[in-house]
Each structure stands twice: as structure tokens, then as C-alpha cells.
Amino acid sequence: MLERLAETKRRMDWLKHLPEASLTFMLMGLIARTAPPVERALVDFFANKAIGVTTNVAGPGAVRTLAGVPVTGVLGWVPGSGRHTLGACIFTYAGRVQVGLLADAAVVRDPQALATAFEHEAAALVGLAG
């Protein structure tokens, strides 16, 4: 398990240093300036190049308020478009980690099994961190 975690971290660190995110953001800005039919065709073209999305969003470390009422939790959700089969959003808020999974029911036969496996892996990692 620790070897898999180390390899995942190594790959994520590598991805974070690629210019892909800033180039994609710039390309999105350019696409947004085209005519709506062209924009739709370009968005569909690029969205269909991926099978899924994973996000890791660091939210506020402390509880925030909305109209004076403390926000007790936040649900992060991965954007889904094109033919995305699977999405995972990891979102931290006030010291808690929330995970949202999006699965195409036509492709992922038992999304609950995937969610359960994720919970078991996360619990095992927390146990190792002890």
C-alpha cells in the first residue's frame, strides 16, 4: 500500500509541474470567444478525449459563515462532460475530507462497490498514519 501511495504522489507531483493546466486554461479562454456552434464543437472534441476527471481542491481550513450561519459541510463535485465514465472530487473543508464520486451507470456496473473500496483504502491509509 505504501509503495502505491508513493508512486501516486510521484506521478501527481510530475503532473503538477507540466504546463498543461495553464495551457488548457488559456485554450478555454480562446474557445469561449468563438461562435456558440464552434465553441460547442470544440468543447465536445476535447471533452471526449478523456474518460474521467479527478480533482483535489483545498478548501478553507476554518469554518466559514453564510449570512451569519456556520457552513457545516461542503460537497465538492467533479465536472462531467463528454463521455466521462468516472469522476472523483476530493475536497477539504475545515479539517475534513469529502469525496464525491461520479460514475456512468452504463459502464460502471456497481458504483457502490467502488465507493466502498475507496472508503476501505482511505481508512487503511489513516490507520497507517496512526
Residue 97, domain extent: 51-130
Helix axes 20-31, 36-47, angle to 10 degrees: 150
Residue 105 to residue 94: CA distance in whole angstroms: 32
What are the helix (H) ranges across 19-110? Answer: 20-31, 36-47
- What is the model's pTM? 0.68
Q: Are residues 45 and 80 both part of a single domain?
A: no
16 and 78 both lie in a single domain? no
Kindly state whether residues 34 and 2 are assigned to the same domain: yes
C-alpha grid cell, residue 85: 465514465
Long-range CB contact pairs, 78-81, < 8 A, 24+:
78/53, 78/54, 78/102, 79/53, 80/53, 81/43, 81/47
Q: Are residues 20 and 57 located together in one domain of the fold?
A: no
State the Cα–Cα distance between residues 100 and 83, nearest whole angstrom. Answer: 18
Please indicate, yes or no, whether residues 76 and 127 belong to a single structural domain of this protein.
Answer: yes
Q: State the DSSP H helix or E strand holding residue 75, giving kind and residue range, or none if neither.
A: none
67 and 36 fall within a common domain: no
15 and 74 assigned to the same domain: no
pLDDT at 51: 80
How high is the pLDDT of residue 10?
93
| Total domains in the fold of the chain | 2
The verdict on 63 and 109 lying in the same domain is yes
Domain shared by 66 and 80, yes or no:
yes
What pLDDT, on the 0 to 100 scale, is given for residue 68?
Answer: 96
* 109 and 64, same domain (yes or no): yes
Q: Using the 8-state DSSP alphabet, how is residue 18 labeled?
A: S
The verdict on 120 and 84 lying in the same domain is yes
Residues 59 and 22 in one domain: no
Average pLDDT for consecutive 10-residue bins of the chain (130 residues)?
A: 88 87 87 93 83 84 96 83 82 90 87 91 86
